[in-house]
Structure 1
């Protein structure tokens, strides 16, 4: 058989009616049918999907890979990818109908890269009933069926000028697998989807996070395409399936204990989370560049207390401090380990209530957005008896580090917290410490 240029992988479970509309759309592609193959992955449907797939065998190079037991979306997609023969994998959901030019755009993107790895994130319209009726009849959608009320849910997150720059720093946040392609070599190198993620949600975000870091955070690795369009068919999703995302986010944030994944715990839209990743990556660099975040200037009395306390210490070089038994660090200058994570402090749910005697954050807290500082203090005082916000003297003028946030003095923060906590500020030689209990 001639090797196809694209392998279209479609995970499916017990949804013959929607799958039929999706497969029919692939018979109307402007890309010749001999240039792509279709692999439907049946994740143990009570009634096998093979007959629904086989009826397209005269128009498509198509096969059905069936698991006898339901194993989840990640394992199901991996099973399809294992059968793929093309160098480019296109993941298309079984409730997502392809525009006639969809596969052509995916192929052109990868062909233009001359063998370099890449990920193309296609556009998805969330259509409603009129659009569904047209697609089921095999008719094209008209402009009113695709207006702003039925657009890609990511549109609102990427409509401002700064969002393109933000996207380059965290494209995986928009990495939805309903209409996406990547080179098979990269997919294989990162190990495919994580099969420990069984329930709905974030298995695609987690995959593309690994893809991004596997290639060193290359700014040109991911592209968003307005032209590679598909149409999402409305369907019923039970509440328990949506709530499963909460379990998955706990799993993936424990797996990736870095500030960029931690940003998902910050309140806000996807667009705001994109901005958080960029700002906080730059903030860590700025803190280091300005000689901040170092515990060397901590007074002797505080050092002695830390050595006797269960402490969560945050900064650069805090892993070298003498800390009490059961302590933990967020030290960005030390390798990651079970007791040292590369976080800022927004994600503390993996610690038990009252696990620490104190949390000490040396300067990195000064680069948090106001709502994230509130989040850090609120969560921190559930995990610890007190929080020490350490401010090294002689930091930069806040205006010189914009757009990064930066707290120059402690007065305003102390007043802000004083109405809700017991707050005390102490000035030492070289540092000031705001303690909240």
Structure 2
């Protein structure tokens, strides 16, 4: 399935590459979805009608990337959907490799992510001539941008927990049944970026997050033609991130608001998923032993409370919770506190985080405090008494020495440390 809009020249090169596949032309189909281009793209498609099974479906108005992909997929007849962008050129073995992956699964659902090598001018010239670029033209300066992001061994362990973060539809395939069951692309998303990650997120969770659902084939190669993109399109990604994070108010998309490469973001998804599980397993994060003054503050004013069971506390009007033991709802989300942009400046009287903050990486704890103090007058970091050895929780981070943390924060923030029978509360303003 090839979505296209106002790019006849690039589409011509892409279709030419699909006409040179090692997979016999009668064993795959090509659907081009024209998203309301001013000059219809059907004439470009028709050039290849005698060489491959190809057709063009057109919407007379531009509806956006998600709706266009859904329209193309709706016209496909095959049991497997391969998504290839219209400025992306297929290696001769590309379709065969996608077919072989799905055939090997004996009917089990699956997603194959191929590589996209970003090309510059010389490689683009070779591709337009119908040639496979020589190795120097696609060296490590011009490779798949995900390669540099995922260069360490642990990144590929993390991939099993958050494969959707690498789910770019410039070269990816999914069984049609899964695509339909997950609901396809979200047509609310019309700007550039993340519509494919969000769709693959739903695919992953639709099947319960099995570690073998997604695979990467480094030999399933496509080449990304050099092209022009408006700066505003890239900025649109931030709007999409805010939309997706509100649609799925969980720590997975929240992790994308922390600084780092895609590999590091995948690591945070794994770490914070394991942190939530560890906090629950060790009996931490419970508000049972909150001191009376703090309970009175929570009940009297607007609060953001983070923990396990905090949604059951008496909270003042306008309060929200990040309660991982309560269902997702309008005022309860499953975040850890890295993403707070949904709230207005000064919206809360207090932000209370019971133990989950102790599992944040140092840079993410800084992020939590910096953003939190824009939304709340005060942050109370509550630490339950525990004999846990931080080494037993590795690779999870875990704060135990609160006086040391208070000393670190003191030069920048107003810090108070209060001891109670069952908890210690570190307050910052």
Indicate the residue corresponding to 1:135 in structure 2. Answer: 127
Indicate the residue corresponding to 1:401 in structure 2. Answer: 393
Matches of residues 261-340 of structure 1 in structure 2 within 5 Å? 261-340=253-332
**SS of the residue aligned with 1:419?**
coil
2: CA distance, partners of 1:326 / 1:201? 33
Spell out, residue by residue over 1:159-205, the C-alpha distance to the aligned partner (whole angstroms, 9 max, x if none). 21111110000000000010000000011011100000001111001
TM-superposed CA distance for 1:325, in Å, is 1.0
Indicate the residue corresponding to 1:3 in structure 2. Answer: none
2: CA distance, partners of 1:403 / 1:290? 16
2: CA distance, partners of 1:124 / 1:222? 17
**SS of the residue aligned with 1:62?**
strand
1: CA distance, partners of 2:185 / 2:122? 34
**SS of the residue aligned with 1:336?**
coil
- Does 2:6 match 1:14? yes
TM-superposed CA distance for 1:140, in Å, is 2.0
* Aligned partner of 1:203 among 192, 195, 203: 195
Indicate the residue corresponding to 1:430 in structure 2. Answer: 422
Indicate the residue corresponding to 1:341 in structure 2. Answer: 333
* Aligned partner of 1:190 among 158, 170, 182: 182
2: CA distance, partners of 1:422 / 1:309? 21
- Does 2:150 match 1:158? yes
TM-superposed CA distance for 1:290, in Å, is 1.3
Contact conserved, 1:258 with 1:343, CA < 8 A, in 2?
A: yes
* Aligned partner of 1:123 among 106, 115, 132: 115
**SS of the residue aligned with 1:297?**
coil
Instruction: Normalising by structure 2, report the TM-score.
Output: 0.99
Contact conserved, 1:266 with 1:346, CA < 8 A, in 2?
A: yes
TM-superposed CA distance for 1:70, in Å, is 0.4
1: CA distance, partners of 2:404 / 2:181? 49
TM-superposed CA distance for 1:395, in Å, is 4.3
**SS of the residue aligned with 2:145?**
coil
2: CA distance, partners of 1:247 / 1:124? 25
**SS of the residue aligned with 1:90?**
strand
* CA RMSD between the two structures: 0.7
Equivalent residue pairs, number: 429
Spell out, residue by residue over 1:31-64, the C-alpha distance to the aligned partner (whole angstroms, 9 max, x if none). 0001100000100001000111111100011110
TM-superposed CA distance for 1:128, in Å, is 1.3
TM-superposed CA distance for 1:343, in Å, is 0.4
**SS of the residue aligned with 1:180?**
strand
- Does 2:283 match 1:256? no
2: CA distance, partners of 1:96 / 1:117? 25
1: CA distance, partners of 2:370 / 2:309? 25
* Aligned partner of 1:417 among 403, 409, 413: 409
Spell out, residue by residue over 1:207-244, the C-alpha distance to the aligned partner (whole angstroms, 9 max, x if none). 00101111101100000110110000010001011111
Indicate the residue corresponding to 1:4 in structure 2. Answer: none
Indicate the residue corresponding to 1:92 in structure 2. Answer: 84
- Does 2:262 match 1:244? no
2: CA distance, partners of 1:43 / 1:389? 50
Matches of residues 60-79 of structure 1 in structure 2 within 5 Å? 60-79=52-71
Unaligned runs of 5+ in 2: none
Contact conserved, 1:11 with 1:40, CA < 8 A, in 2?
A: yes
Spell out, residue by residue over 1:349-380, the C-alpha distance to the aligned partner (whole angstroms, 9 max, x if none). 00111111000000000000011000000110
Q: Which runs of 4+ in 1 moved over 3 A?
A: none
Spell out, residue by residue over 1:287-315, the C-alpha distance to the aligned partner (whole angstroms, 9 max, x if none). 11111100001112221221112111000
* Aligned partner of 1:167 among 159, 166, 189: 159
2: CA distance, partners of 1:285 / 1:211? 22
1: CA distance, partners of 2:130 / 2:328? 53
Spell out, residue by residue over 1:385-429, the C-alpha distance to the aligned partner (whole angstroms, 9 max, x if none). 000000001141111111100001211221121111111000001
* Aligned partner of 1:181 among 145, 149, 173: 173
Contact conserved, 1:292 with 1:395, CA < 8 A, in 2?
A: no
2: CA distance, partners of 1:394 / 1:193? 45
2: CA distance, partners of 1:65 / 1:415? 64
2: CA distance, partners of 1:414 / 1:167? 35
Moved more, 299-308 or 262-271: 299-308
Indicate the residue corresponding to 2:361 in structure 1. Answer: 369
1: CA distance, partners of 2:62 / 2:252? 32
Indicate the residue corresponding to 1:38 in structure 2. Answer: 30
TM-superposed CA distance for 1:148, in Å, is 0.8
